[in-house]
Structure 1
Amino acid sequence: MIETTALPLPHGITLTCRSSGERGRPVLLFLHGFPEAAFVWDPLLAHFAQPQHGGYRCVAPNLRGYAGSSAPTEVTAYRAKHLVLDILALIDAEAGGPGGRLAALVAHDWGGAVAWGLAAQHPERLERLAILNSPHPGTFLRELQQSPAQQQASAYMNFLCRPDAARLLAEDDFRRLWPFFTNMGAADGPHAWLTDAVKDQYRAVWRQGLEGGLNYYRASPLRPPTADDPGARAVSLPRALLDVRVPTHVLWAMYDTALPPALLDGLEVYVPQLQLTRVPDATHWIVHEQPERVTRWLAAALD
C-alpha cells in the first residue's frame, strides 16, 4: 500500500511524500522531475517494498515547490544548495537519523540534478546512485557552452524562465504542457501511457501551482545563452561539485530530444564507477513508457 504523508523537516520545509514498505528497512529514495510529481514512481514503490523484491522502505517526495510540499516564492530558494539540504534532511528522517545512509538514490530529470549534486558532495549518504535521463552537470555545462545542437534542444528552458510562463502553461487546459510529453518522437508512435486517468493525475498536480517547478529553471544558470543572458557561458564548476565516487547506474533513453546522447560522452571522467545502459526505443518519459524495463534495470543495479 502506498501512503501519502506530509513530513516537516528541521529547516522549515515540509515535503509531501509517497511511501511504501516498513520503516527500519533499507531505504530507496526516488526524486522526480518537471513537470511531474512523486506519483510517477508508484509502480516502483509498490514493487520494491515487497519482501520478494528486497522489502525496501521506498519513499518518493514531492520536491520543494510541487504538489503540496513547501513552495517558497523567492527564486533564490530553489538554488542547488537548498534542494540538496531538503534531501539530506529527508534521508535523516527516513534512514535512521543524522548520518543515515540510503540503499540507493534513484532520480530522473530535475530530481537527477539534485541527486548528482548530493552524490558528489555527500557520498557517505548513499550506497549507490541510479540516474534516468538526467545530465551530469559537467557534461551538460560542456554541451551548453559548446554545442549548438544542445543549445537548440534546451531552448525551451529560456521560455520556462519567463515571468509569465506559469500563466501561459496553464491556459486552455495546459495546452502548452501536454506537448512536453507528446513531442518527443517516440519510436512506437502514440504515447499510450498518457491515458485520461494519467492526465487527471497531472492536472491535479499542475492546478496546485506551476511557479515552484519553474523556479528550478530560473534559479539555475545552466541554460542556453541568449543575447540578453550569458547563461551557461558565464558558469564554471569546480571539480569538487562534479566528481561522483559512488557506484552509479545510468539508464538513458536515446529518443530524448531534449537531452541528446552527446551528454554521455566523457561521463566516466566524472563517474569512475559507472554502469551505463542505453535504451534505443524510449524517450525522456521512460518511467511512464517502460516501467517494467525500468524495474528490471533497478533490480539489477541493487543486486
Structure 2
Amino acid sequence: MIDTTGIKTRSGLTFTADVAGPAEGPLVLLLHGFPESRHSWRAALPALAAAGYRAVAPDQRGYSPGARPDPADLANYAFDKLIGDAIEIVSAEGYDGKRFHLVGHDWGGQVSWGVASQHPKRLASLTILSRPHPSSFRRALQKEDGDQKHRSRHHRAFLDADTGKLLLADNARRLRDGLFGQGVPSEALEDHLSVLGNPEALEAALAWYRSNKGLAADIGTITVPTLYVWGDVDATVGPDAAYGTAEFVAPSFVMEVLPNVGHFVMDQAPAKTTDLLLAHLKKHPV
C-alpha cells in the first residue's frame, strides 16, 4: 500500500511524498528528475515494501507546493540546498544519523551524486538512473565532436524566461512531444503533469537549471557502492558520458545497460529497473 503524506523538514518545508513499507525497515529514498515527479517510482514502491524496505519518494523542492520558495531568487535552488533537502527528509522520517539507500534519476541523480560526495558514510548504497557522474558529463560536454553538447541543448533553452510558458502552451504540447517523446506511457505522463503541469511548479523546476548552470558540479570520486543504469537509446545522455562514469566510482561500481530504453527508465522499463535495484540493495545491506 502506498500512502501520500507531507514530510516537514527542519528548514520549514513540507514535501509531498509517497511512502510504502514498514516504518522500521531500512530506508530507501528515491529522488525523481525533470520533467517528472514522485510518480516515477510507482512501480518500485510496492516491490520495495514487499521486500521489507521503507520507501520514501518525495516531490522535490519546487515540485511540492509546501516546499516551493520563490524561484525568482535562484539562491533558493542552489545545489547545496537540494542536497540538504535529501538529508533533512531522511531525518524527518526518523532516520537521523542512520545509514540509508539512495536512488536518483536525472536531476534526482545529480542530487544523489552530491549526497554521496558530501555524506558518503550515510549511504549503504547508491543507485543512479540515466544521469552520469558530473565529471564524466563535463568531459563529454567538452569533446570536439559535440555529441553530448547537442544532446544537452535543451538546458540552454531552460534558461530563457519564456520557456515555462512555451512548455505549458497548447496543453503542454512541448512537454508531451519533446521531453516525454521517448516512449513514456500516457498514464505516466499525466501523473507527472498533475504535479508539474502548472506555472508555479514548472517555474520552480526550471530554477534548478537556472541556479546550477551546466550541471557539471565539482564532485570527485564516489566511494559508495554504486549501481548505474542507462538506456542505450537515451536521447539526452550519450555513451561517452555514460560509460565514462565508471572512472569516477571506486571501489564498487556496476553499470547496467538497458537495450532499446531511453532516458526515462522507470517509466519505460519499470520491472527490469526495479529488479536491478532490489538486487543492488540486497548486496549492500544497511
State whether TM-score is above 0.5: yes
- State the match for 1:266 in structure 2: 244
Q: Does 1:68 align with 2:46?
A: no
Which string of whole-angstrom CA distances, capped at 9 and with x for unpartnered residues, describes residues 170-208 of structure 1? 111001111234544xxxxxx3x523x434323321126
Kept in 2: contact 1:117–1:242 (CA 8 A): no
Q: Which of 222, 237, 240 is the aligned partner of 1:244? A: 222
Cα separation, 1, equivalents of 2:6 and 2:32: 17
User: 8 Å contact 2:246–2:253 — kept in the other structure?
Assistant: yes
Q: Tell me what 1:79 maps to.
A: 78
TM-aligned CA distance change 1:165 to 1:149, over 3 Å: same
Whether the 8 Å CA contact 1:37–1:67 is kept in 2: the answer is no
State the distance in 1 between where 2:128 and 2:275 align. Answer: 14
Tell me which residue corresponds to 1:120.
117
Quick check: 204-213 or 55-64, which moved more?
A: 204-213
Match of 1:108 among 71, 92, 105: 105
| Residue number among 54, 68, 90 corresponding to 1:57 in the alignment | 54
Worse overlay, 106-115 or 6-15: 6-15
Per-residue displacement from partner, 1:232-273 (whole Å, max 9, x unpaired)? 7xx8x3xxx322111001111110011001113432332011
Q: Which runs of 5+ in 1 are unaligned?
A: 185-190, 224-231
Q: Which moved more, 1:254-263 or 1:87-96?
A: 87-96
Moved more, 257-266 or 67-76: 67-76
Q: How many angstroms does 1:75 deviate by?
A: 1.4
Once superposed, what is the RMSD of the aligned Cα atoms? Answer: 1.7
- The CA distance in 1 between the partners of 2:107 and 2:160, in whole Å, is 18
Q: Distance in 2 between matches of 1:4 and 1:243?
A: 35
Alignment of 1:139-158 (within 5 A): 139-147=136-144, 148-158=146-156
1:257 is matched with 235
Question: 1:69 Cα shift?
Answer: 4.0
Q: Deviations over 1:121-175 (max 9, x none)?
A: 1011110000110121111111222341111111111111111111111111001
Q: Is the 8 A contact 1:95 1:101 kept in 2?
A: no
- Corresponding residue for 1:187? none
The 10-residue stretch of structure 1 (7-16 or 107-116) with the greater mean CA deviation from structure 2: 7-16
Moved more, 256-265 or 174-183: 174-183
Which amino acid is the alignment partner of residue 99 of structure 2? R
The AA in structure 2 aligned to 1:220 is N
Find 1:194's aligned residue among 171, 175, 185: 185
| Alpha-carbon offset, residue 22 of structure 1 | 1.7
Which structure would you say has the larger Rg? 1
Larger RCO: 1 or 2 (CA < 8 Å, sep 6+): 2
Unmatched 5+ stretches in structure 2:
none
Q: Provide the secondary structure at the position in 1 that maps to 2:132.
A: coil
**Closer/same/farther in 2, CA of residues 63 and 69 from structure 1, 3 Å limit:** farther
Aligned counterparts of 2:16 and 2:5: Cα–Cα separation in 1: 6
What count of residue pairs does the alignment treat as equivalent? 276
Cα deviation, residue 293, structure 1? 0.5
State the secondary structure of the residue aligned to 2:263: coil
Separation in 2, partners of 1:107, 1:42: 14
Q: How do residues 195-234 of structure 1 correspond to structure 2 at under 5 angstroms?
A: 195=186, 197-205=187-195, 206-207=197-198, 209-222=201-214
Residue aligning to 2:276:
297
Q: Counterpart of 1:113 in 2: which secondary structure?
A: helix
Residues 1-16 of structure 1 aligned to structure 2 (within 5 Å): 1-16=1-16
**Aligned sequence identity (%):** 34
Distance 1:141 1:171 in 2: 32
Match of 1:174 in 2: 172
Partner of 1:229: none
